[in-house]
């Protein structure tokens, strides 16, 4: 049996999920509405980062571990990560100054 522990919201459109397995180290399949993600599991728990292109998530998912599938829901609001802003001088501009 595999189970996901409580998810933790992180900066950016991502969340941490911990997968705990009764069968030692293995890879489980976490199926979202739009895609499938393979996550690592272990008896002590392995943390996996799941990324999203949206801030609000309300996903009905299926966790498949071996022959056993479990329905679950990931729901919440992720914290938006500040967008990349380039430095005032680009690499090419700095090289041309020399």
> What confidence tens digit (pLDDT) does each residue in 4-50 have?
665 544 445 677 788 888 888 999 999 988 789 999 999 998 888 87
**CATH class of the region 2-97:** mainly beta
Q: Tell me how many degrees the CA angle 33-36-40 measures, rounded to the nearest 5.
A: 130
Average pLDDT over residues 48-64: 82
Mean pLDDT of the chain: 75
Contact 15, 74 (CB under 8 A): yes
Average pLDDT over residues 41-60: 83
Q: What is the pTM of this model?
A: 0.64
């Amino acid at each position: 049996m595999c189970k996901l522990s409580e998810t933790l919201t992180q900066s950016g459109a991502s969340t941490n999920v911990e997968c705990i397995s009764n069968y030692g180290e293995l890879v489980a399949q976490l199926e979202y509405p739009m895609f499938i993600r393979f996550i690592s599991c272990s008896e002590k728990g392995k943390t996996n980062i799941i990324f999203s292109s949206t801030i609000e998530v309300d996903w009905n998912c299926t966790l498949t571990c071996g022959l056993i599938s479990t329905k679950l829901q990931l729901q919440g609001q992720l914290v938006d990560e500040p967008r990349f802003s380039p430095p005032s001088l680009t690499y090419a501009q700095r090289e041309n100054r020399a």
